[in-house]
Each structure stands twice: as C-alpha cells, then as structure tokens.
C-alpha cells in the first residue's frame, strides 16, 4: 500500500510533553498517512488515538533535520525508506521514545494546503494502531469517519472535556467544500452520513458503507472546486498535488509493507 505522508507542523507553544523540543531548531511534525492527497485543502484538524503509543524520532534523511511523530511501528518502516540517517535504525528523541496520543491532544498544527491556518490535534477512538502512521488528518467534507468523529466532538461537551479539548479547537471548524460530485453535492461525506443516519464514529458498518461509496464516487466522478487543479477530475489531480507537496517539502511517499498472515494450521 502506497501512502502519502502529510507533514502537519506542530506550532509553539508545544504541548507539555514536547517542551524539551522547544529549544531544538528542528521543526516537529505529526505525520499523517493518506490515500487522498488532493483532499488536503479540506483539512479541519488532525486525529490521534488517546491510548496509542507514538514516538518522536529524527527524520529528514542523513541530515536528520526534522523530527517526526508517528507510531513506533511506522517509524521502523520509515527507517528502511530513507527517512533516518542510518538504514533500518530509528533514532528516537531522548525521553520521547513513547508519547501517548492523549499527551498530544490539543496541540496546534499548521496543515499544508488547508483552508484553516491553524488546526488542532483531536481524539478519534477508531484509529488503528497497525495501519499507516496512526496519525490521521481529518477531511470531514469527504471522509465519513472524519465527519462522524468531528460531529461527536462538536455535540458532546463531556467528550471534549474528557480530553482537555476546548471549544475553540472544535466549534469554529466546518467541513470545507473542495470536491463536487454529481448527485452528492460538494460535501459528499456529510451527504452520506445524513443519508445513512450515522449518529457517531462508532457505527462501524454504516461508516464502512459510506466510505466505500464516497471513495468510489469521489475519486472517479469528483471535480476539484479549489486549488491549482480547480476544474480537473480528482483522479487526475491526485498525482499533481502529491508531487507538488513533495517538491515543497510538505509531504513524502511512504510504503506500508504487506502484513504477514500467520496461520496456526501452517
């Protein structure tokens, strides 16, 4: 599986857990794995799982000019793909070998191409530990899971309070129309969540159905409403936008190795 890694820069003041990095000149990024780089205009926040273990490590190749935050497992994969100074070796930041997702929630971020100058790290309880980087950038206009999780946070003040998320980090953020799909409109994920009456991020089956449909339609029939590929089909825009982001140092390619299937019966 080939993903695009999107680099969301952590803004100062850093969250308490990352304070030791404030004296470091290197930029710090949450790195999110996405299959849809052309949707980055619609980012409204970034999701982390409160109970997943992340790690801060040196990246940027031989010069180690950057610090990435992602799951330990994905850091290991990255170390074989030219991200670390030494092939196959992850060099964690001292004291930040393990960072729990909840220790980063509320962090302010700068997300490349986003309509919003500043977005926040928010909790999502359905993030999988063994997929991508465990960091998910949120595009509620076109990703049903992202919309459902954002609506949960908007509607449920106790949920925000549980994770120390303030109103300002959630309430001002609305899905941004970035892709038009015939019959679905310009907020396809919102349309599908309403059509299937999805009430929360935990409605797994309905969300899977919504995602499949939006993926298919959005990718093959969608037309870009914003950005340098405005007016073009999303399928054509994807590569162009990915390459442009990589050239600007805002993204990288990342390959996830196939999972080994371990069978008991041999």
88-95: long-range pairs with CB below 8 Å, 24+: 90/55, 90/57, 91/57, 91/58, 91/64, 92/55, 92/56, 92/57, 93/20, 93/21, 93/56, 93/57, 93/58, 93/67, 95/20
* 131: contact with ligand ZZB by CB under 6 A: yes
Minimum distance from residue 22 beta carbon to ligand ZZB (Å)? 28
* 234: contact with ligand ZZB by CB under 6 A: no
* 127: contact with ligand ZZB by CB under 6 A: yes
The pair of structure tokens assigned to 198 is: 């999805």
Q: Which stretch binds ligand ZZB (CB under 6 A): 82-90, 96-104, 138-146, 249-257?
A: 138-146
> Cα–Cα distance between 181 and 212 in angstroms, integer?
14
Q: Kindly tell me which residue out of 44, 45, 55, 137 binds ligand ZZB, with binding defined by CB under 6 A.
A: 137
* 148: contact with ligand ZZB by CB under 6 A: no
Question: In this structure, what are the phi and psi dihedrals at residue 229, rounded to the nearest 5 degrees?
Answer: -105, 15
Minimum distance from residue 226 beta carbon to ligand ZZB (Å)? 14
* 53: contact with ligand ZZB by CB under 6 A: no
* 79: contact with ligand ZZB by CB under 6 A: no
Tokens 């999701």 — which residue?
A: 47
Q: Kindly tell me which residue out of 5, 8, 31, 33 binds ligand ZZB, with binding defined by CB under 6 A.
A: 33
* 143: contact with ligand ZZB by CB under 6 A: yes
> 10 Å Cβ neighbour count for 149?
27
Give the x/- contact pattern for ligand ZZB in 176-215, rule: CB under 6 A.
-----------------------------------x--xx
User: Which residues of the chain form contacts with ligand ZZB (CB under 6 A)?
Assistant: 33-36, 39, 127-128, 131-132, 134, 136-137, 139, 142-143, 211, 214-215
């Amino acid at each position: 599986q080939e993903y695009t890694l999107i680099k969301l820069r952590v803004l100062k003041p850093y969250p308490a857990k990352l304070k030791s990095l404030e004296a470091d000149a290197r930029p710090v990024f949450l790195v999110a794995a996405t299959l849809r780089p052309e949707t980055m205009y619609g980012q409204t926040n970034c999701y982390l799982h409160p109970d997943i273990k992340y790690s801060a490590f040196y990246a940027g190749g031989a010069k180690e000019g950057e610090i990435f935050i992602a799951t330990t497992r994905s850091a290991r994969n990255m170390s074989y793909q030219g991200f670390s100074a030494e092939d196959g070796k992850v060099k964690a930041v001292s004291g930040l070998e393990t960072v729990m997702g909840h220790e980063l929630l509320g962090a302010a971020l700068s997300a490349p191409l986003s309509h919003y100058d500043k977005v926040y790290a928010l909790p999502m309880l359905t993030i999988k530990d063994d997929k991508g980087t465990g960091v998910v950038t949120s595009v509620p206009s076109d990703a049903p899971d992202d919309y459902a999780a954002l609506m949960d946070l908007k509607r449920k003040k106790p949920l925000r309070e549980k994770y120390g998320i303030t109103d300002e980090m959630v309430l001002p953020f609305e899905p941004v129309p970035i892709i038009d799909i015939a019959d679905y409109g310009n907020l396809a994920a919102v349309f599908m969540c309403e059509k299937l009456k999805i009430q929360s991020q935990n409605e797994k089956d309905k969300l899977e159905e919504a995602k499949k449909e939006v993926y298919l339609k959005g990718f093959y029939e969608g037309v870009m409403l914003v950005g340098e590929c405005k007016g073009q089909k999303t399928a054509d825009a994807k590569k162009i936008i990915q390459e442009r982001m990589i050239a600007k140092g805002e993204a990288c390619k990342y390959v996830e190795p196939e999972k080994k299937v371990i069978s008991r019966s041999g």
